[in-house]
A and B are shown apart, each in its own frame.
Chain A
Amino acid sequence: MRGICLYLHIHQPFRYRGYSIFDVGANENYFFDPDYNSKQSNERIFKKVAEKSYYPTFSLLEKNLKQHPGFKFSLSITGTWLEQAEMWAPDLIERLKKMIKTGRVDLVAETYYHSMSYFYNLDEFKSQVEKQVSTFKRLFDYSPKVFRGTELTYNDSMGKVVESLGFKACLAEGWDKILGWRSPNFVYSAAGTKSLKLLLKNYRLSDDLAFRFSDKNWKDWPLTVEKYEAWLNDACLNGNVINLFMDFETFGEHQWKDTGIFEFMDRLIASWLSKFDNQFLTVSDRATESPAGELSFPWTVTWADTERDLSAWMGNKLQDEAMSNLYALRDRIYQSKNPELIEDFRKLTTSDHAYYMCTKYWNDGDVHAYFSAYDSPYDAFMYFLNILHSLEYRLSS
């Protein structure tokens, strides 16, 4: 048997608007920019991405679920995405419900707010995971068994916490420095846990689609289904299931429609399933496999950048100050029992906010700048701090 385990991550943050110090005390709207066309307009961005990516990709997935009884995949869907979809594209949620009902679409748990709360406040982390699990139960009548850390963060001590929350398996990056000579295609048991399993992203084959697919300077451009299938077959010689983990927006947003990514995926699914003994598996399917061995993540690994570390979120003083000051308000905010204040706090924990403050490559003007909703990391930081002042003001008034 040879298998593909396709897992897609859907997320949108609630970007905060250009919140001025002069708004403090006068205006408590952080997340809804009255200017639809502004850089931070969540509604505009959601609708744009929906048109380019969500709708056509949903159609592609639905079509293949219908055509191929063997087609399966897994999704993680953040709470902040679900809230935005409920406001701006409720039909997407209905379509999700239908897909999940087929029993061939798996859901992966995570923090509702796509946060790095694990590293700041364990109580907050646990309650955000619980909120996500209960949201899945409410909307989709589904109880996830597999967990993923935000941006695929994982380390050994996180594994213990994840297991204690009742999950059977956790996703992580199949990073060479952790794996050494071992293959990412096997299931491993997580060091330090009783029986938590680790499913590792095959980043080479995943990134061929997610990042390189349309790169004309790539030696393998243009990528054909035949070529890619040959690579998958080669990889299956060392562990027979390939974990293809990527952002949902790979389809239509990172790789635009005109790159041919939709046709490619459509043909790949059909072609793969036409071969004898080829399968698709969900992450829950894989969680039942017996582990090939034990794997330890002594330090935190993510799926981001060439460093595969946390430096895009926790790498500079702006990020440290913004986030540590935010979490420092947590106890007082919960004590206030003010639901709006608590909700605002939790939306601010979303990791994208720290990402926009990343200065790693800022001087060279690179991709981080491209994906930012702000003019600069400094602007992102200034608005965030102004919002913290506003939270303080609300707490004391």
Chain B
Amino acid sequence: MKILMLGWELPPHNSGGLGVACLNLSRALAKDGAEIDFVVPYEATHEDITFMRVLSASHLDPLFRYGIGAYDTKYIEDLIIPDVRIPDAISQDQISIRHIQKTYCDFVEKYLMEYRPDLVHAHDWLTFEAGVLAKKNFGIPLVAHVHATEFDRAGGNGGNPLVHEIEYEGLTLADKILAVSESTKRIIEEKYGIPGEKIDVVYNSLDETFLNSVYSLDSEEYLYLRQLKSAGFTIVSTVGRFTIQKGLSHLLRAAAKAVRKNPKLLFVFAGDGEERNELVARAAELGISKNVIFTGFIRGKQLRDIYELSDVFVMSSISEPFGLTALEAAHHGDVLILTKQSGVSEVIRSSLKYDFWDENKLANAILSVANSPALRETLKDGIRAEYQKISWGDVAQKCLNAYNNIKHKRV
């Protein structure tokens, strides 16, 4: 089966979980015999990727530091297309990414004049227009894979109407929709009026590089964190982009409540984003600056070190379609505290769950884990047994089932 996969990023040129999920999914599909051409909007070599062809839709630079994320559009504008003219009607953030999307569509169109894939599999709104083009102009079946909707990114607020429109068109025209969680499926049903039977839930799995690469924590590093740990501190970490969607100000307020009861708590905020300065200021206002460490953006081994040193991982998202980082933290033995609004909380039963606004409950959970070795051990034992129960092979199988259903329907 020949699949044209439309994506926006692949590791190491990724800014978040989207690239990781796309890479692992493609690898598993290729293992099952799928031939994949994967389009990215930038130009870069992906030496590690041998199981599929990676095609560049443009000569743009992949921007090592930030990736071409849907989430960091202002960098794209500053660095790549400084001479774009901005019509009055469209905001600055929009114009730059729209330009890239246009180029991306042009490339897909040219590709389809030469090649005839059995199916187009498009990931998120960024590539939906190109997917719709393939469906409308070339009659190729479209699978729309939703890793996040604009409703998630806007943190429950309205979001961008143009993005809504693109999502709506893509989801309506798709032959099949894959959603990364039941809650994402619900959003697609409720907000876009798509019938539930058109949507399959396909959970993500743990990034295979965590399983396949050798990892060890260097005993000479992080001496301060180790010192705190041996002094009885509990290390609570969170990882991600610092945007409103992640609910970090709730976490910070819960941290302040918890620290008042138990000062031996250290919170590690790993990541960066538009809320960073506000969070730093908030920590100071709450009088817990000494208990909160901001690491800046980290990835690779450094990120794994943080997971490894942490006792507890908190996913405080207001809306989190899946939340791959929770599985990564689980792999490193962290106890998980997850909002009920995260997709991953649908999969992992051995975790503590709360509603994102319930700061008392979060503080209570943090204190309980810090104070009770029994709770910590029981949760760890539980998660060890279940965090890998869904493999990327299972995910690929679900995709293949969806592909085959479309094929049968069309015959």
Contact = CB atoms under 8 A, between A and B. Distances in A.
Contact of A359 (B261, B360, B378): B378
B353 interface: yes
Contacts of B371: 385
Nearest to A19: B364
Contacts of B386: 363
Contacts of A226: none
Contacts of A376: 349, 352-353
Contacts of B361: 20
Contacts of B360: 20, 22
Nearest to B366: A21
Interface string B139-172: 0000000000000000000000000000000000
A279 interface: no
Interface residues of B, number: 25
Contacts of A317: 373-375, 377-378
Contacts of A316: 378
B379 interface: yes
Contacts of A365: 349
Contacts, number: 66
A363 B350 contact: yes
Given A363-B386, A382-B375, A22 B349 contact: no
A22 B385 CA distance: 32
Interface in B335-385: 349-353, 360-361, 363-365, 367-368, 371-375, 377-379, 382, 385
Contact of A321 (B352, B363, B372): B372
Contact of A320 (B261, B350, B374): B374
B255 to A, nearest CB: 14
Interface string B294-330: 0000000000000000000000000000000000000
Interface string A355-397: 0000100110100000000011111011001100000000000
B375 A363 contact: no
Given A362-B349, A376-B353, A21 B379 contact: no
A316 B350 CA distance: 14
Nearest to A317: B374
A107 interface: no
Say whether chain A's binding surface is mostly helix, strand, loop, or mixed: helix
Nearest to A24: B261
A147 B281 CA distance: 65
A82 B269 CA distance: 52
A69 to B, nearest CB: 53
A287 interface: no
B135 interface: no
Contacts of A379: 352
Given A376-B349, A379-B352, A22 B374 contact: no
A377 B365 CA distance: 13
A359 B349 CA distance: 10
B364 A382 contact: yes
A321 B379 contact: no
Contacts of B379: 378
Given A316-B378, A317-B377, A359-B382, A22 B363 contact: yes
Contacts of B368: 21, 381-382, 385-386
A362 B379 CA distance: 11
B176 interface: no
B261 A21 contact: yes
B287 to A, nearest CB: 18
A377 B382 CA distance: 11
Contacts of A382: 352, 364-365, 368, 375
B246 interface: no
A314 interface: no
B244 to A, nearest CB: 26
A318 interface: yes
B27 interface: no
A320 B377 CA distance: 12
Nearest to B368: A382
A362 B353 CA distance: 15
A382 B351 CA distance: 12
A116 B365 CA distance: 27
Interface of B: 257, 261, 349-353, 360-361, 363-365, 367-368, 371-375, 377-379, 382, 385-386
10 contacts: A20-B364, A21-B367, A22-B364, A317-B373, A359-B350, A376-B352, A378-B350, A378-B379, A381-B372, A381-B374
Given A22-B257, A359-B382, A363-B349, 10 more contacts: A21-B367, A22-B363, A317-B373, A317-B374, A317-B378, A320-B374, A363-B350, A363-B385, A376-B349, A385-B368
Give the top 10 A-B pairs by smallest Cβ distance, nearest first: A321-B374, A317-B374, A382-B368, A363-B386, A21-B364, A20-B364, A318-B378, A317-B378, A21-B367, A378-B352
Interface of A: 20-22, 316-318, 320-322, 359, 362-363, 365, 375-379, 381-382, 385-386
